[in-house]
């Protein structure tokens, strides 16, 4: 084994693609190294989502997220993981102007972070860009249905496929994304029957979010499913209640500091040793 060979092999875009119709893909978001380390043994795919803008930076939507932010968070997630495929979101305005702009920025993300793939929100007009990137060896994940970067234009985060025209548009987006060469497609905010139809139509594995178990896998924002916030999207099941646990911990800490009753280093060390 050479010094460069890592002991654990990371999943690759072909590994993810090969899961079409097979064992469901377990996917979550991470924005920092400790979270990536925690998720890595359980996840096939870790997304450094531009949701980082809302979840970590307190932005109202993802429009203000920059390429530099994505690169910084992508680097941290790569340091914290060694098994899952890490995909970094291309933020708003980093890929829409031209195929060349998309290539330059996507290449920078791959080179500066060491991640395995980038994700673009793929309206039909983005298909040409996906093809350009894929032909130049940039692994691309598409994202159809509810596209958060369209939130300003659409007046919020709107579920898709509620009428025939919207349904046909999402299906068209998914087919265009697939034919352009995306190796996986995130399908967000669509009803179960449309998720099934998309998954049965496209060759790439579909990764649902608010799109039922009829996809080839699921992705959620980790902080949402771990219950860190008061509000989470209606479709998110909470698997833990981190907010309550953290509030209780902080309250207990504050009370001890105020009462000067917190333990000194020796007491802590003894207690932790058991
Ligand atoms: O930015 C994000 O976190 C996403 C989702 C698919 C979770 O795009």
Domain assignments of the chain as residue spans, ordered by start: 13-240
**Residue 65: its pLDDT value, please?**
98
For residue 250, the number of C-alpha atoms closer than 13 Å in the C-beta half-sphere is 6
Q: What does each C-alpha distance from 154 to 64, 127, 228 come to in angstroms? A: 16, 21, 27
**Ligand 1 midpoint to CA 249 (Å):** 29
**Ligand 1 midpoint to CA 263 (Å):** 41
What is the number of the ligand 1 atom nearest to the C-alpha of 119? Answer: 8
* Kind plus residue range of the DSSP H or E element containing 86: strand 85-89
Query: Could you tell me which of 176, 67, 56 has the C-alpha nearest to residue 128?
Result: 176
Q: What does each C-alpha distance from 18 to 23, 178, 179, 206 come to in angstroms? A: 10, 14, 16, 12
CB 105 within 8 A of CB 75: no
Q: Which two tokens stand for residue 220?
A: 């959620």
* Torsion region of 44: left, alpha or beta (phi above 0 gives left; psi -120 to 50 gives alpha): alpha
What 3-state class would DSSP assign to 13? helix
Quote the CA–CA distance of 175 and 59 in Å, as a whole number: 32
Among this protein's residues, is 100 annotated catalytic? Answer: no
- Considering the four listed CATH numbers 2.60.40.10, 3.20.20.60, 3.40.50.1100, 3.30.43.10, the one that applies to the domain covering 13-240 is 3.20.20.60
What 3-state class would DSSP assign to 148? helix
Per-residue pLDDT of the chain (274 residues), as tens digits, is 556 666 679 999 999 999 999 999 999 999 999 999 999 999 999 999 999 999 999 999 999 999 999 999 999 999 999 999 999 999 999 999 999 999 999 999 999 999 999 999 988 999 999 999 999 999 999 999 999 999 999 988 988 988 999 999 999 999 999 999 999 999 999 999 999 999 999 999 999 999 999 999 999 999 999 999 999 999 999 999 999 999 999 999 999 999 999 999 999 999 998 8
Output the CA angle 41-90-206, nearest 5 degrees. 55
**Residue 33: its pLDDT value, please?**
98
Residue 209 Cβ inside 6 Å of ligand 1? The answer reads yes
């Amino acid at each position: 084994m050479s010094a460069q060979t890592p002991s654990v092999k990371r999943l690759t875009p072909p590994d993810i693609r090969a899961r079409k119709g097979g064992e469901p893909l377990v996917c979550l978001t991470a924005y920092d190294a400790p979270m990536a380390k925690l998720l890595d043994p359980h996840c096939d795919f870790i997304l450094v989502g531009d949701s980082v803008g809302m979840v970590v930076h307190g932005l109202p939507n993802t429009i203000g997220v920059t390429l530099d932010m994505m690169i910084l968070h992508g680097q941290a997630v790569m340091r914290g993981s060694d098994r899952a495929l890490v995909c970094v979101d291309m933020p708003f305005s980093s890929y829409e102007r031209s195929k060349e702009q998309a290539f330059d920025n996507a290449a920078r993300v791959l080179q500066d972070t060491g991640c395995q793939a980038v994700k673009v929100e793929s309206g039909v007009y983005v298909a040409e860009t996906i093809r350009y990137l894929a032909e130049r060896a940039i692994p691309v994940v598409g994202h159809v249905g509810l596209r958060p970067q369209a939130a300003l234009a659409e007046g919020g985060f709107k579920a898709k496929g509620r009428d025939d025209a919207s349904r046909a548009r999402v299906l068209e987006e998914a087919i265009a994304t697939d034919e352009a060469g995306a190796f996986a497609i995130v399908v967000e905010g669509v009803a179960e029957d449309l998720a099934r139809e998309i998954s049965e139509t496209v060759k790439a594995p579909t990764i649902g979010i608010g799109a039922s178990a009829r996809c080839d896998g699921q992705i959620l924002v980790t902080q949402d499913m771990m219950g860190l916030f008061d509000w989470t999207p209606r479709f998110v099941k909470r698997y833990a209640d981190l907010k309550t646990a953290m509030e209780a911990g902080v309250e207990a800490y504050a009370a001890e500091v105020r009462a000067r009753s917190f333990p000194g280093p020796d007491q802590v060390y003894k207690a932790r040793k058991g």
